[in-house]
Amino acid sequence: MVELNETKAINQERKINRNFRFFGLTVFFFGMSDGILSYFAPKVVVEAGYSNTQMGILMALSSVFGAILDIVLSRVLRNTHYYRLYFYALLLMISFPFLLLTSSYYFLLLISMAIWALYCNLSSFGYYDYIARVTKKSEHASSFGFLDIYSSMGYVVAPLIAGTIAITSLGIKGAVIPIFVSIMGLIFLIATRFSQPRKEKSVFEVEHKNTRSFLEEMVIWKRVIVRMWPMLILFLSLCIMEAVFWTMAPVIELVSANLKGYGGIILTAAIVPSLLINWSVGPLTKLFGKKNTAYTTFLFSNVFLFIIGFVNNPGVIVLLIFITYILQSITFPAMGGAIADYLKESQSYDREILSTKDFFGNLGYIIGPAITGILMDRIGGLGVFSYMAIMGFIISLILIFFAPRRIPFYDRNIEVEENLSKLEI
């Protein structure tokens, strides 16, 4: 009997590992397609004759749409499941290149930004749902790390493919490859669904008996923000910096003559660290704690980012970017593991936690591109990175010295109505 149970446990573990690999490949192809399209977007707008400021505003509008969708999705989504979320996200991703690459009209570009925002939001919900559904709480940070390796592999390949396509064509021919890659992601998503070893009720599938009003939703959002503000501020800062980087890198040769032809190399230098470092995130967070690991690595990453604004040598710039993203490759999964812990502890507020997190992320992607476009037109050069580093350094110090070490989220059964009299909006 003991041997039989051991055999069943081993087989179950193998099924989970196979399912994890299938989902990892889904994330890989999703990241590759999104990376290609993210590389195209600023170039398409600039080559259409718009200024850097207009380009930054247009990129920011995609996140305005995303922030609105966060509020809408928190009310519309009921029993979320990673399969459905990723399925719709990939279908939208297939339609996105047609609008982005085949028209220079501002209105159609706005529509493409809305589609971009929607598929990113859906995939983010699905990503966290999969982690909470399949992995143990103690494995959340390491699971984020391993999945981020798959995602980073896609984003590493993307600039090389995008750079080649950009040389030849950004029109309808350029849309074929990202569409094909998205279809491959869809195939592996279906394989993930059918290889799921057992049906488990995710923390995301807790039934909400009463439909909450807008006022009640805002009360919950306030509760979530009060409890999770350190992670939300950190996530906001990381998203601002990532948005700045992805907005500048494709057009960086217009910012500095020394970096002509270095756009793809710089993007690769920023993404490769995830492949090298993420496997070690789990042991680090077990040793130092998820939050401490996230705060400290973010602090030191800003030191190297600050130096970039004072360097002219392309090789040194690439090296500094590489070191910066080595440290942030630890920050992201450590932070993601902490957020997943909140999800595990609070089944009642699962949708609101995800919506609030995505709202802050979208806010970062609103601020980042807008600041990038304005600073590129005003000061030019690589000083944009130094400005962002100063902001990040100050925020990281605030988190290290003032963020509470532990705020539990165990009030899963408290009804919202009981708190309306205690909380002010």
Question: Domain boundaries in the chain?
Answer: 2-195+212-417
The predicted pLDDT at position 198 comes to 58
| Structure confidence by residue, pLDDT tens digits, 9-24 | 555 566 667 888 899 9
Q: Which residue has the higher pLDDT, 356 or 279?
A: 356
Q: What is the mean pLDDT of residues 251-280?
A: 73
At residue 234, does pLDDT exceed 90?
A: yes
The predicted pLDDT at position 261 comes to 67
Q: Which two tokens stand for residue 273?
A: 């660290």
Strands (E), 55-97: none
Angstrom distance (rounded) from CA 286 to CA 412: 25
The predicted pLDDT at position 30 comes to 92
CATH number for the domain whose boundaries are 2-195+212-417 = 1.20.1250.20
Backbone angles phi, psi at 104, to 5 degrees: -110, 5
Angstrom distance (rounded) from CA 261 to CA 283: 38
The predicted pLDDT at position 129 comes to 82
Angstrom distance (rounded) from CA 357 to CA 335: 11
| Structure confidence by residue, pLDDT tens digits, 161-207 | 876 665 555 666 667 888 899 999 999 999 988 877 655 555 444 44
At residue 300, does pLDDT exceed 90?
A: yes
Angstrom distance (rounded) from CA 334 to CA 347: 21
Helix (H, G, I), strand (E, B) or coil at 239: helix
CB under 8 Å, gap of 24 or more: what pairs does 134-141 form?
A: 134/16, 134/19, 134/20, 134/23, 137/340, 137/341, 137/344, 139/282, 140/336, 140/337, 140/340, 140/341, 140/344, 141/281, 141/282, 141/285, 141/290, 141/333, 141/334, 141/336, 141/337, 141/338, 141/340
Q: What is the mean pLDDT of the chain?
A: 78
Angstrom distance (rounded) from CA 340 to CA 354: 9
Please, which pLDDT band fits residue 253 given cuts at 50, 70 and 90? low
Residue whose C-alpha is closest to residue 357's, from 124, 183, 162, 108: 124
Identify the residue whose tokens are 């699905």: 126
Please, which pLDDT band fits residue 413 given cuts at 50, 70 and 90? very low
